[in-house]
Structure 1
Amino acid sequence: MASANTSGSEENFSCSICLDVFSSPVTTPCGHNFCRTCITKYWDGQVKFKCPLCNMAFNTRPDLRINTLLSELAAQFQTSIRVKDQLCVKPGEVPCDVCTGTQLKAVKSCLVCFISYCQTHLEPHQRFAVLKKHRLVEPMDRLEDRMCKKHDRLLELFCRTEQVCVCQSCTETDHKSHPVVPLKEEYEVKMAQLGKMEAEVQQMIQERQNNIQEIKDTVNRSKADADREIAHGVHILTALKRCIKKYQDDVNRMVKEKLKSTEKQAEDLIKELEQEIEDLTSRKIEVKKLSHTEDHLHFLQTFRSLKDPPPTRDWTTVEVLPPSYVGTLWRSLDQLEETLNMEMEKLPGDAELKRVQQYEVDVTLDPDTAHPHLILSEDGKQIHDGGVRKKLLDNPKRFRQGICVLTRQSFSSGRFYFEVQVKDKTGWCLGVARESINRKDLIIATPESGYWTLFSYKDGLVFNDDPAVRLPPRAELQKVGVFVDYDEGLVSFYDVEARVHIYSATGCSFTEPLYPFLGPWRCDYEGINSAPLIISPVNQTD
């Protein structure tokens, strides 16, 4: 159907019911025209017969006949519309260069005339013998750009040496010795390359989109971690404030009780002294009174009763010592530290351990760094002291004094985590070490010398620092997790089985690659401490 939004001339040939060009038009007695089918269907549903356009009523249903003139005109108009729809230039089609006004689409292009023709204007090339010799091709736009400027011939070949389009004459002159192929062949090659380029670009886009998502995921995890850390901090600090208040009250109470006891002792002594003073004053008055009597008999009789003084204390041995408050505050601080540690133990260490376990790395021990006493497993995951010094080449990477080993892998950024089984060991050390450590002399394993390590002795755990940080012993410690955040300068140790945090070294300065470090220590002649250190895979369901 033709569009209702048409020119005025099309409206003259359109039915007002279907809005299309008339089909078998008929005229009503009132002079209006409709398609026979349209007016018939319209009246079939009516009781009274009216004109749809002017509403004129008819007594009986009119006998309609086809308007022959209007029918012929409508047919001609329909044909013109069909021709126009077929020949008018549409987007992407080549227009006729000869048409004036409305351009029709070209059906051929002439490589001699450099002109594109519609079917009408192409007619001379099909009629005259001279023009029939011209080379006609499928319609092409910008014909002048498709011709060789030097030879005026069509650019239909491609020179692979100079990567340019050439004509047939070019292959006989400037490009005579160059490999040339038809444009279509090179087009297919380049299209394949373009497809590969598109795939590569798409892959790069996808990788960057993945990077964006990873960054967003990291930010989301960081927010969740921050919320948890704030909640843990509030919990601990609230408990700490509560404990500080309690122990402050306890210290005040103990000091006041000691002071009150001293004050009570002093008060009792003062009362006793005052009583003795009162008794002595009475005696003094009696003595003085007697000293003024001249009655010999009375004097002698009274003097005998004054001969024995009233009982008094030997005050030379009596003293009030000020109370000692030494140690009161320190005892409270020790109790406060113990309480704080108990509160720390209550923290959800399992969640923290799971959070760091996601940064697990697969590391294997490097035999080139192992001390000659050490024996490595074939998979590079276990190491123990063999008790015998092997004869090995003096590799510059090998430890000569310390019974220890590094991994093959190193880390210079980001976060990483690994676990080591220490079961049945009486002594060991593990952690991380920087690449430039001294491997030939006696090891002083402190952060200053490039080591961030946890040591285990019979009497407990020690983080080697200056001074060393002594940690409470952990019963049945079987597996230790080591987490490093290179960029944040953090090294943390975890009791994996108990799923609790052991110790964290913060504010570390990392400026070079870090290697996981294991020291199984020596075993004695009785085989004590002969169990291996084992790099274990992470099992988050432990």
Structure 2
Amino acid sequence: MATPHSSWSEENFSCPICLDVFNSPVSTPCGHNFCTTCVTTFWDDKDQYKCPVCNEIFQTRPDLRVNTLLSEMVDQFRTFTLVKELLCVEPGEVPCDVCTGTQLKAVKSCLVCFISYCQTHLEPHQRVTVLKSHELVEPMERLGERMCKKHNQLLELFCQTEQVCVCQLCTVTDHKSHPVVPLKEEYEVKMAQLGKIESEVQQMIQERQQKIQEIKDTVGLIKADGDRVIADGEEVLIALMLCIEKCRDDLNEAVKDKLKSTEEKAEGLIKELEQEIELLINRCSESKQFSQSEDHLHFLQTFMSLNNPPSTRDWKTVELRHPSYIGTLSSSLDQLKKTLFMEMKKMPDLHSALKKLVHIW
């Protein structure tokens, strides 16, 4: 009889129709194997009988026979799989200390023998009278650590003075004058303390989580304030830029108007001077002409009119003054200052900056 091997897999024992482990496997004349129910059901609604794997056609419905060897191997595979699932040690489980080769998982640990047993090796503790008195507990790891290294006895007491686990002999030697209690009693005390510590730690965690949320909320508010300041500042600066542009245009226009007025006045004065020059040139020509006259009577009669200078302005007192732009620039700055005041009122946080700016002005 074949023996299951660890390399076997479910694929080696799967029916090609249901893809599950064989159930009462039978063989067809072409040598393929199927579950009895699967192949018979497959043929029940067919007019022609053929193999579901190789499609070989049979003239009559084949007389199926149980594949004995395959059935035994399937049974052994099922047993092997069940033992592997139920008994083999999985990560985190306690292995049997007696098993050799493949270790099975322990079902009990003995606090007298300090050994963990699988179900098979536990049998003497359930049968032998002396072993029946041993204290069996759920499987535990590191049983050797439960022994007193000095007296090789079970650590079953707790020294409250030195806060260590001790055995019975320790209470009459190194810990003779120390108060000791059973491990279970101290365990309950420490568990209560642990619960309190855990509660305090949870409270500390909650406080820090709240602080994190508080910081995040503060960051959100700061960001919102920053966005608001940026938006308000942009609005103020745009208004100021528009005001500056208007002040510049007004200033340019006012200066140009004054310059035009001055140029027009200068042109008027020049025109008047040119007219007087022309008049004086004519007088000079007349004087020159009469200076060549030999008609004594006519010369004397005309001389009086030539002797009186033509009517002209006293140009010594006439000046072309530079126009003053101070008032124009001051007016533009006043308008800019008013606009700045109006816009800054929308931003109370910048009040100090406004006062410094006004002081400079």
Whether the 8 Å contact between 1:247 and 1:332 is mirrored in structure 2 is no
Q: Note the C-alpha offset of 1:140.
A: 0.8
Q: Note the C-alpha offset of 1:190.
A: 0.7
Aligned to 1:338: 335
Aligned to 2:56: 56
Q: Note the C-alpha offset of 1:98.
A: 2.1
Question: Partners of 1:63 and 1:149 in 2: how far apart?
Answer: 73
* Pair 48,78 (structure 1): closer, same or farther in 2 beyond 3 Å: same
Q: Which has the higher strand share?
A: 1
DSSP 3-state at the match of 1:52: coil
Q: 2:264 aligns with which of 261, 264, 289?
A: 261
Aligned to 2:303: 306
Q: Note the C-alpha offset of 1:323.
A: 1.7
Question: Partners of 1:322 and 1:102 in 2: how far apart?
Answer: 123
Q: Note the C-alpha offset of 1:223.
A: 4.4
Q: Note the C-alpha offset of 1:87.
A: 0.9
* Pair 192,169 (structure 1): closer, same or farther in 2 beyond 3 Å: farther
* Pair 84,32 (structure 1): closer, same or farther in 2 beyond 3 Å: same
Question: Partners of 1:224 and 1:120 in 2: how far apart?
Answer: 78
Q: TM-score, normalised to structure 1's length?
A: 0.54
Aligned to 1:218: 222
Q: Cα deviation per residue 1:136-180 (whole Å; 9 max; x = unaligned)?
A: 322111122333434444445555655544556656662854475
Question: Partners of 2:304 and 2:8 in 1: how far apart?
Answer: 158
Q: Note the C-alpha offset of 1:200.
A: 2.0
1:207 aligns with 2:208: no
Whether the 8 Å contact between 1:243 and 1:339 is mirrored in structure 2 is no
Aligned to 1:229: 233
Letter in 2 for 1:215: V
Pick which of 8-17 and 255-264 moved more: 8-17
Whether the 8 Å contact between 1:279 and 1:310 is mirrored in structure 2 is no
Q: Note the C-alpha offset of 1:338.
A: 1.1
Aligned to 1:284: 287
Pick which of 100-109 and 199-208 moved more: 199-208
1:405-416 aligned within 5 A = none
1:49-448 aligned within 5 A = 49-67=49-67, 70-155=70-155, 162-167=162-167, 174=175, 177-178=178-179, 180=181, 181-212=185-216, 214-215=218-219, 218-219=222-223, 221-223=225-227, 225-227=229-231, 229-230=233-234, 232-237=236-241, 239-290=242-293, 293=294, 298-308=295-305, 309-310=307-308, 312-313=310-311, 315-316=313-314, 319-326=317-324, 328-338=325-335, 341-342=338-339, 345=342, 349=346
* Pair 17,339 (structure 1): closer, same or farther in 2 beyond 3 Å: same
Whether the 8 Å contact between 2:247 and 2:336 is mirrored in structure 1 is no
Q: Note the C-alpha offset of 1:281.
A: 0.9
In structure 1, stretches of 5+ residues that fail to align are: 1-5, 353-481, 484-489, 494-502, 507-542
Question: Partners of 1:163 and 1:313 in 2: how far apart?
Answer: 133
1:18 aligns with 2:18: yes
Q: Note the C-alpha offset of 1:104.
A: 0.8
Aligned to 2:3: none
Q: Between the two proteins, what is the percent identity of the paired residues?
A: 39
Q: TM-score, normalised to structure 2's length?
A: 0.78
Q: Note the C-alpha offset of 1:116.
A: 1.4
Whether the 8 Å contact between 2:262 and 2:323 is mirrored in structure 1 is no
Letter in 2 for 1:335: S
Question: Partners of 2:343 and 2:356 in 1: how far apart?
Answer: 21
Whether the 8 Å contact between 2:126 and 2:132 is mirrored in structure 1 is yes
Higher Cα radius of gyration = 2
Aligned to 1:43: 43
DSSP 3-state at the match of 1:37: helix
Letter in 2 for 1:312: P
Question: Partners of 2:289 and 2:302 in 1: how far apart?
Answer: 11
Question: Partners of 1:247 and 1:153 in 2: how far apart?
Answer: 107
DSSP 3-state at the match of 1:182: helix
Letter in 2 for 1:277: L
* Pair 222,11 (structure 1): closer, same or farther in 2 beyond 3 Å: same
DSSP 3-state at the match of 2:144: helix
Q: Cα deviation per residue 1:16-51 (whole Å; 9 max; x = unaligned)?
A: 333333322333333433222222222234332222
Question: Partners of 2:351 and 2:329 in 1: how far apart?
Answer: 31
Question: Partners of 1:300 and 1:14 in 2: how far apart?
Answer: 163
Question: Partners of 2:225 and 2:316 in 1: how far apart?
Answer: 72
Whether the 8 Å contact between 1:115 and 1:143 is mirrored in structure 2 is yes
1:484-495 aligned within 5 A = 491=351
Question: Partners of 1:46 and 1:235 in 2: how far apart?
Answer: 92
DSSP 3-state at the match of 2:34: strand
Whether the 8 Å contact between 1:158 and 1:186 is mirrored in structure 2 is no
DSSP 3-state at the match of 2:338: helix
Letter in 1 for 2:54: C
Question: Partners of 1:304 and 1:149 in 2: how far apart?
Answer: 162
1:27 aligns with 2:18: no
Whether the 8 Å contact between 1:148 and 1:154 is mirrored in structure 2 is yes
In structure 2, stretches of 5+ residues that fail to align are: 1-5
DSSP 3-state at the match of 1:116: strand
Aligned to 1:451: none
Q: Note the C-alpha offset of 1:11.
A: 5.1
Question: Partners of 2:9 and 2:310 in 1: how far apart?
Answer: 147
Aligned to 1:531: none
Question: Partners of 1:222 and 1:163 in 2: how far apart?
Answer: 58
Question: Partners of 1:264 and 1:44 in 2: how far apart?
Answer: 127
